[in-house]
Structure 1
Amino acid sequence: MPSAPRTFDYVIVGAGPAGCLLANRLSANPDVSVLLLEAGGQDNYPWIHIPVGYLFCIGNPRTDWCFKTEAQPGLKGRSLSYPRGKVLGGCSSINGMIYMRGQAADYDAWAAQGNAGWGWKDVLPLFRLSENHYGGDSEAHGGKGEWRVELQRYRWPILDAFRSAAAQCGVDSIDDFNTGDNQGCGYFQVNQRAGVRWNSAKAFLRPALKRRNLTVLTGVQVDKLVVDNGRASAVSARHEGNQVLYTARREILLCAGAIGSPGILQRSGIGPRPLLERLGITVEHELPGVGGNLQDHLQLRLIYKVNNTRTLNQVANSLWGKMGMGLRYLYDRSGPLAMAPSQLGAFVKSDPQQASANLEYHVQPLSLERFGEPLHGFPAFTASVCNLRPKSRGRVDIRSAKPDDAPIIDPNYLSDPEDLRVAAQAIRLTRRIVQAPALRVFGPEEYLPGPTLESEEQLHEAASAIGTTIFHPVGTCRMGNGPQDVVDATLRVHGIDGLRVVDASIMPEIVSGNTCTPTLMIAEKAAQMILQGTPRLAEKNRQQALPVT
């Protein structure tokens, strides 16, 4: 028997970065009731919180939905694993913890496409509002927010040498990637607190759980939205074996991510008519762009064997090394267990004609064939490089009306010739850096893709063979006012009242960097827009916001 309906002012679907922040901001006023629904479980798995534990969270069904892409023609027919967080905190519980905003030009381009209020000068205060930067308040950073940003607590000589080699190749060393122009090479700042992962559940959700007007439910599988006379009025879901209807007096806020949010819309009859009719779903509102415009950063993981130094490969493959890592982490929360997956970064131009840096490096003192597999038995480092502004576009669609059926994820990697051209340039640039004098003492030897591949065609083939996702899907509920756009500049779904999408899926173009912190900014802006619609609540929210704990 279906359980009795439950009613709240706001129903938030998805407790990832956006959902956790929204739940905090909206529930800060006791005059409104907020429900946060999460399909996954609690974030109480120990490896979530130990930074290097991402190796045990990605591909683990306890913490990852373990999606797969469709076979990719541009990747020699390979199907890639496509991790998505399956716990409170969403992908912030399993990602690389890198604090990155992107470039000022990214957001100015969003605004130039007709999305008023989304330029760099508009969003910078939002980044600062949620930020708890180790350096405190400054023109570029905020020191009073919840989203903790710290320096990394461990360094490797091989990474210092890579940074020096990059400088010898004209890539200046910088200390901060987050001032609007991230060109240069330096160490990533990370979302950690004293050597422990700082996910969005810790930052935003836990301080708000003491509020009586906030309800958080895990293990809730959303079937679809209920649409009455053009208004999204309720969420139909399964919880603890029961079919439940959660009604929203004010708004439903989809925060299920670039894969989850378009799927919920499509199952609700909001999306491309041909898809919905083929699956036997009643078309509530035709929106052709739902699920389209999928963008992702494809990384090329170039691996180099080295000598005369230690990398995580040797340490992690030694019993004494593992014991040493554990003891050091227990002692002061430092050492290899405190590592972010990628410690050193670089933003560079693939060629001088680029207006700004269009390549991002994630340099790691380790190597492995693919995530989820053991580290190599030889000392090595990985210089992973991705095209920040890919031209290729894919889509994500539901496979059926059943929410348990995994989605059809088709990123369409390397389908645009420009992406192949940039990939070849990226491999050549990486080789030039690795051959610089600063790295010669380590005798780097190219393991992947292989030094004999040199022609343009061979490098295209190499990119197809080694390319893999860096886990940054965006754009599938694109913001704008065109025929393929899904939400307007206030994130309201076109043609449906009472419904917004608030996550990375609204990005018109992918940002030039990692996507977690930009997603939090999107949620911060959404919260302000929602509260501005009710001035009395906005004032109370300002007065009663909880202090950082």
Structure 2
Amino acid sequence: MLSDFKMKELNDDAEIRNLWLEGIHNLDQRQAPKKNKDFYDFIIVGAGTAGCVLARELIYNIPNINILVLEAGPPDIQVNDIMRSPCAFPSIIRTIETDWGYFTEDQTMPSAVDPTKEVLNRRIHCARGKVVGGCSTVNAMIYMRGQEADYNLWATQGPEYEIWDYNHCLEAFKATENNTRKNPDEEFKKYHGFNGLLYVQDKQNDFDDILKDVIKIAKNLGIPYNNDFNGARQNGIGEYQHTMKDGKRFSLADGYLADALKKVETYPPSKPFELGSPHRLGDDVAKFVAVNVKCFSHMLNIIWDEERKDENVAIGVKYFYDGRVHESFIAPKGEVIICGGAINSAQVIILKIKADFSIKQ
């Protein structure tokens, strides 16, 4: 004969089973939960050079925001950390996992030797990083800025372009740079920063004998030696600096995105934990103040405000992620920022133009 305690256990067990079976039988009768829309203050398309810097600057300079960063490629790590090895960059610069695989078009142009004849410039590979860190994760790590004359030319296009003059850009370069050259002279200090998040260093080992001979020959030919290709002049022969730290690659993801990801808060701040609270969180938690990065997220299109078609107002993005199409939207006063690089940023905008043209047709 079963004891009263044992009978109670059996009855409790039977009740639990009945409740579970009832739940299974009624599963198809339940109302499916409504799909929640993802809202962010900023959506950055592309975790390359610009995207990484923007994510970090926004999260630390605007209070109580959250940011979604979409990257079509993988994280910036591989087996054995091949992306960190300077000598391994040829292995990642043209692989389908980390490069978009773009090529230039064949072009014919007048010969410089005989203008009456044409020469064929065959197509070449145009490397574009498809990975967190973008091209800074797959390039040859040579730290080389643009020509001063180019920036000043951009600035002459109108008042809204004046910020692109070289002096403005130089201040931005210096702010991002953490140059580790030992005992820099005063001239070098005019053009470089030493407190930024992007590490830049000189070559760690001595020149090969053949390179020393090349520099010697160049000097004999009257080509000036240049110990800083980002200084007052960029012509001459010398040694590049590299975006490296301790002999390893250092990308914008290593500096800026990694720092952005450190900031994780709640807004409004959660109350102290209370005993008896089922989730141990206060009721006033609204959102995470953080940067959310989604890798393998292929951008499909910008979502435009249908009520303001003539103004081309973006309200979100549509992208393919985790096997299906997702939509994320920006909160009021939020922004969609396209940081897809020189080619893909334009391609995203062209998708809008093509869609409009098709509708008009």
Give the alignment's TM-score, normalised by structure 2.
0.72
Name the structure 1 match of 2:147: 103
Candidates 145, 148, 165, aligned match of 2:217: 165
Name the structure 2 match of 1:22: 54
Candidates 307, 312, 337, aligned match of 1:253: 337
Aligned mates of 2:231, 2:348 — CA distance in 1: 36
Deviations 1:507-530 (Å, cap 9, x if unpaired)? xxxxxxxxxxxxxxxxxxxxxxxx
Aligned mates of 1:104, 1:79 — CA distance in 2: 28
SS of alignment partner, residue 163 of structure 2: coil
Q: Does 1:218 align with 2:295?
A: yes
Letter in 2 for 1:49: R
Deviations 1:88-133 (Å, cap 9, x if unpaired)? 0011111111111223222111111221111122111111101101
Deviations 1:359-416 (Å, cap 9, x if unpaired)? xxxxxxxxxxxxxxxxxxxxxxxxxxxxxxxxxxxxxxxxxxxxxxxxxxxxxxxxxx
1:21-420 map, 5 Å:
21-28=53-60, 29-45=62-78, 46-73=81-108, 76=120, 78-114=122-158, 115-135=161-181, 138-154=189-205, 155-212=207-264, 213-228=290-305, 229=308, 230=311, 231-249=313-331, 250-269=334-353, 276=354, 281-282=358-359
SS of alignment partner, residue 76 of structure 1: strand
Name the structure 1 match of 2:277: none
Give the Å deviation of 1:174. 1.5
SS of alignment partner, residue 259 of structure 2: helix
Q: Which runs of 5+ in 1 are unaligned?
A: 270-275, 284-549
Letter in 1 for 2:337: L
Aligned mates of 2:203, 2:97 — CA distance in 1: 27
Give the Å deviation of 1:185. 1.1
Is the contact made by 1:102 and 1:180 (CA closer than 8 Å) also made in structure 2? Answer: no
Identity of aligned residues (%): 32
Aligned mates of 1:77, 1:172 — CA distance in 2: 31
Write 1 or 2 for the structure with the bigger share of helix. 2
Deviations 1:290-335 (Å, cap 9, x if unpaired)? xxxxxxxxxxxxxxxxxxxxxxxxxxxxxxxxxxxxxxxxxxxxxx
Deviations 1:233-276 (Å, cap 9, x if unpaired)? 1111111122111112321111101111111111123xxxxxx2
Aligned mates of 1:268, 1:206 — CA distance in 2: 32
Aligned mates of 2:92, 2:258 — CA distance in 1: 21
Letter in 2 for 1:83: A
Number of residues paired by the alignment? 276
SS of alignment partner, residue 22 of structure 1: helix
Aligned mates of 1:125, 1:44 — CA distance in 2: 31
Aligned mates of 1:77, 1:161 — CA distance in 2: 31
SS of alignment partner, residue 187 of structure 1: coil
Q: Which has the larger radius of gyration?
A: 2
Is the contact made by 1:16 and 1:90 (CA closer than 8 Å) also made in structure 2? Answer: yes
SS of alignment partner, residue 186 of structure 1: coil
Aligned mates of 1:70, 1:183 — CA distance in 2: 29
SS of alignment partner, residue 116 of structure 1: helix
Give the Å deviation of 1:210. 2.1
Give the Å deviation of 1:160. 1.3
Change (3 A) 1:103 1:33: same
RMSD after superposition = 2.2
Aligned mates of 1:3, 1:22 — CA distance in 2: 30
Aligned mates of 2:358, 2:203 — CA distance in 1: 49
Give the Å deviation of 1:77. 7.1
Aligned mates of 1:77, 1:14 — CA distance in 2: 31
Give the Å deviation of 1:4. 3.6
SS of alignment partner, residue 245 of structure 1: strand
Give the alignment's TM-score, normalised by structure 1.
0.48
Letter in 1 for 2:301: K
Aligned mates of 2:260, 2:77 — CA distance in 1: 18
Deviations 1:327-369 (Å, cap 9, x if unpaired)? xxxxxxxxxxxxxxxxxxxxxxxxxxxxxxxxxxxxxxxxxxx
Give the Å deviation of 1:3. 5.7
Is the contact made by 1:3 and 1:242 (CA closer than 8 Å) also made in structure 2? Answer: no
Aligned mates of 1:15, 1:242 — CA distance in 2: 21
Deviations 1:176-201 (Å, cap 9, x if unpaired)? 11124212211001000011000111
Q: Does 1:10 align with 2:57?
A: no
Change (3 A) 1:234 1:282: farther
SS of alignment partner, residue 342 of structure 2: helix
Aligned mates of 2:41, 2:47 — CA distance in 1: 17
SS of alignment partner, residue 50 of structure 2: helix
Letter in 2 for 1:40: G
